[in-house]
Amino acid sequence: MRIPRWAGLLALAVLAFWLGRGSETLSAQPLLPDGVFVRDSGGTAWLIIGGQRARVPFMPANDDVINSVPDSGAWVVQGEGGTLALGGQPDYVNAAPVSMQATATPTPTVAPEDPPPTVSIQVDDTRIQVGQTISITVIAQDNKGIEWIQWEGTIQEDDDNDNKATGDADLDAEHRHDCDGQTQCAFVWQVTPKTPGQYVLRARGRDDAGTRSEWTSIDLRVTGSAATATPTQGPTATPTSAPAASGSPTP
């Protein structure tokens, strides 16, 4: 009994698949169904079966030998239990080529966190004399609402420590203004520094969600000498004469 040519090729393909299951195989593209033959850009033919791809052996033959084998008119398709069988033409034969883009999963959009308020600080003069009054303005904006704004004086040291007090009562005092949930808030403070030095004025704000902004700063130089208190002298007592003793003769 003569075995059809196509049956021999089918048997070789199935044999190659089962031999390949015992060794490391390359994972198949999930969009390719079992029972299909594919050829990559390098010319290698693959059989997709069992969720894997296996190389397909081809026996060299000329047209005369191939045409001598009766044409069954059938197609190799996936049968029950994942085995290959003969059947009708699959729908995907004339379909467009499969692309990996079809399996791309859209990247979820991550909602940005609520940004902190935008804060700025201004001073009408950055170089003043001891005892000179200046205006310090803090301005803030927020997309939802501002709880408060504040500023403070500090000294920037060589080790980047920016939490040192200035020693000036006006600059070290707490300066905070409630904004009552406004999306734009500004306030002006009048201060009169009395201690000379090189200072940093820094400001920040907090929104209604509790998010604080980073410190934003501006330099201030106070020159001159600190005022020295002059002691107050009390009134001078005027000495009085002692009264004459009783019974003393009058000169």
Instruction: Dump pLDDT digits (tens) for 163-201.
Output: 788 999 999 988 999 999 999 999 999 999 999 999 999
Higher pLDDT, 86 or 207: 207
Provide the pLDDT confidence category of residue 151 given band limits of 50, 70 and 90.
very high
- Say which range, 88-97, 129-138, 157-166, 202-211, has the weakest mean pLDDT: 157-166
Domains contained in the chain, CATH given: 5-100 (no CATH), 118-223 (2.60.40.2550)
The confidence score (pLDDT) of residue 26 equals 44
Cβ count near 51 (within 10 Å): 12
Structure tokens at 250: 């009058």
Q: How confident is the model at residue 25 (pLDDT cuts 50, 70, 90)?
A: very low
Stretch (H or E) spanning 63: helix 63-67
Establish how many alpha carbons lie within 13 A of residue 176's alpha carbon, considering only the half-sphere containing its beta carbon.
Answer: 8
Contact 150, 206 (CB under 8 A): no
The amino acid occupying position 52 is Q
Residue 2 tokens, joined: 């003569």
Instruction: Give the number of other Cβ atoms within 10 Å of residue 6's Cβ.
Output: 16
Q: H or E stretch including 15?
A: helix 5-20
The answer to whether 80 touches 69, Cβ cutoff 8 Å, is no
> What is the residue-wise DSSP string for 140-159?
EEEEEEEEEEEEEEEB--TT
| Stretch 67-91: mean pLDDT | 80
Average pLDDT, the chain: 79
The amino acid at residue 3 is I
Share of the chain above pLDDT 70, in %: 71
Q: What is the pLDDT of residues 94-142, one digit of tens each?
A: 878 777 665 556 677 666 678 999 999 999 999 999 999 999 999 999 9
| Per-residue pLDDT, 2 | 55
Phi, psi (5° rounding) for residue 120? -135, 155
- What pTM did the predictor assign? 0.48
Q: Which amino acid is at 149?
A: I
What's residue 174's pLDDT?
A: 87
Q: Which two tokens stand for residue 59?
A: 């026996």
For the ranges 69-73, 161-165, 226-230, the maximum mean pLDDT occurs at: 69-73
CA 74 to chain centre: 59
pLDDT at 40: 83
